[in-house]
Structure 1
């Protein structure tokens, strides 16, 4: 009996080992449903939508950098030319799109083909434009219209592509976690180069957005809820009204104080994780602080 038990145990172990080997064999085992590359229409539309948003983000964030960098170099007039503007716009869209595609684990080949879809429509129209057969508006509009089918073709071609492993340096991961701060700094780049005093009425947007976002998230009933937000709205409304009435340098200082005070408001909500998402509080806090500091700079240098 002991011998029979040992034999049965050994045989069972060998069967289990063979089963495990077959399961681990990449040829025999099928990938789980979540790991299989999706190629449906919904996936394709989502991918195209993400690409469109990434392209817009690239133009919004990188567009001001051309102005800031071009002015000291005397390139303002050159950058304003329609053909140059078309290529810089394609570059902004390509950068935004490539960053997002790599984040979504698309291959460099797919990213390169999508980048070609950004540039080729404009390159095809530059010849007729230089020959005088197309106007500036037709160049820009035609390039964007031709870009749509080019993007669709690339997306359809790679719709079944499997995700590729992407290795991220720890420093990159750490920076990615601070994306609200980076986004706010990118948006405010132009303010550092050209400090200005915004309208006092813009301060009403600051507490107003907290009310709107808090209501959408149903977070106005808890701590820091409706009562505190209404007090904040009243305070910034009063500050804006006083700034409008007094005008001049005093108004500018009140505007700076309002933006810097709201940066502290953002910090409070970020630490307590109340009303708005923490990412929003972080980005809004950095944005408000930059605006407040640049208003001070505008006052001191004006």
Structure 2
């Protein structure tokens, strides 16, 4: 028993039998040239996700800063170029942090990417305070320097999450509905200052379906093209009537036109002409904009 235990605990490996020769080809590892495009695609995909998350942060948090500045009486301070630059970097960092944590990136990678948001603006604050550059150069230069900084951080961490993603089912459900969330983010600022869109914007509603249908070649089914052209004719007529009427009547027609198009979106939700995500995005955007315009009409004196 003692000898058996000593043998099992030893580091001496039992030699494996020689492989039996076969005629089948041995699978080879992917060549560096084949792996390089995949790695580049992952890098571009990661940077694209970061850019979308940053834009979402600005769209969502920008109006909140305006409200806070007005309520606290610090609107003028927030409007100063150096403060506005840092506020913008904060908005982008918040959106980027949420996106990276959703992808299970570790906190030290998130911290370095946050530094890529702030450091370019902080570096340009020195020449700005010295009067060597103006406010436009500060904001534009900060964004331009941010791009290589983000690339360096992404390459350093191999632009891949090193931890398994563990997400709550509610978070997963919300992520799957990102088109609806994006549509809501795009209307946040309009809820702060509601207004009625121009009647001509209704031409975008049927036009988008026609352009996407042509690009996807999904207008060739029976009656599909005729249906889309009929929708175009309806919204063109509604637009012309609103332009001719003007005033409060035009406002109500525009609001009705956007709300009615939500029904058109629901009819296309199965993705026959446009992708399902696009229809989902449009139905939320149309309803939200119609609600904003109704609010603007009701809160504005005739």
Give the TM-score category using the shorter length: 0.7 to 0.9
> Aligned pair in 2 of structure 1 residues 298, 149: CA closer, same or farther (>3 Å)?
closer
Q: Which residue of 2 aligns with 1:24?
A: none
Query: What are the residue-to-residue correspondences of 1:102-181 with 2, within 5 Å?
Result: 102-159=101-158, 163-181=162-180
Residues 46, 159 of structure 2: 8 Å contact kept: no
Helix, strand or coil at the partner of 2:71 = coil
Which of these residues, 271, 276, 284, is aligned with residue 273 of structure 1? 271
- Conserved in 1, the CA contact under 8 Å of 2:203 and 2:236? yes
RMSD: 2.7
Give the unaligned 5+ runs of structure 2. Answer: 1-15, 17-28
Is 2:103–2:165's contact at 8 Å kept on the other side of the alignment? no
Partner of 2:288: 290
**Is residue 84 of structure 1 aligned with residue 52 of structure 2?**
no
The equivalences for 1:87-102 within 5 A come to 87-102=86-101
Q: Distance in 1 between matches of 2:275 and 2:224?
A: 14
Cα pair 1:224 1:275 within 8 Å, conserved:
no
Please identify, of 139-148 and 283-292, the stretch whose mean Cα deviation from structure 2 is larger.
Answer: 139-148
For 1:12, the equivalent position in structure 2 comes to none
Separation in 2, partners of 1:73, 1:256: 34
1:208 positional shift? 0.3
Q: CA distance change for structure 1 residues 43 and 269 in 2, over 3 Å: closer, same or farther?
A: closer
Cα distance, 1:216–1:254 mapped onto 2, change above 3 Å: same
Matched residue SS, 2:251: helix
- In 2, Cα distance between equivalents of 1:240 and 1:301: 23
Q: How many residues align?
A: 269
Q: 1:12-66 deviations in whole A, cap 9, x for unaligned?
A: xxxxxxx9xxxxxxxxxxxx98xxx989455444434443444344334443343
Deviation per residue, 1:103-151 (Å, 9 max, x gap): 4443222121011111112122324433444422232233223323322
**What TM-score comes out, normalization by structure 2 length?**
0.79
- Shift in Å at residue 263 of structure 1? 1.0
2: CA distance between counterparts of 1:65 and 1:186?
A: 12
Cα offset, 1:161, TM superposition: 5.7
Change (3 A) 1:52 1:286: closer
Match of 1:222 in 2: 221
Indicate the residue corresponding to 1:47 in structure 2. Answer: 46
Q: Structure 1: any 5+ residue segments left out of the alignment?
A: 1-18, 20-31
CA contact (8 A) 2:194 2:295 kept: yes
State the distance in 2 between where 1:155 and 1:284 align.
Answer: 33
Cα displacement (A) at 1:297 = 1.5
Whole-angstrom distance in 1 between the partners of 2:159 and 2:216: 36
1:263/1:289 contact within 8 Å kept: yes
Which whole-Å CA distance do the structure 2 matches of 1:187 and 1:166 have between them?
A: 28
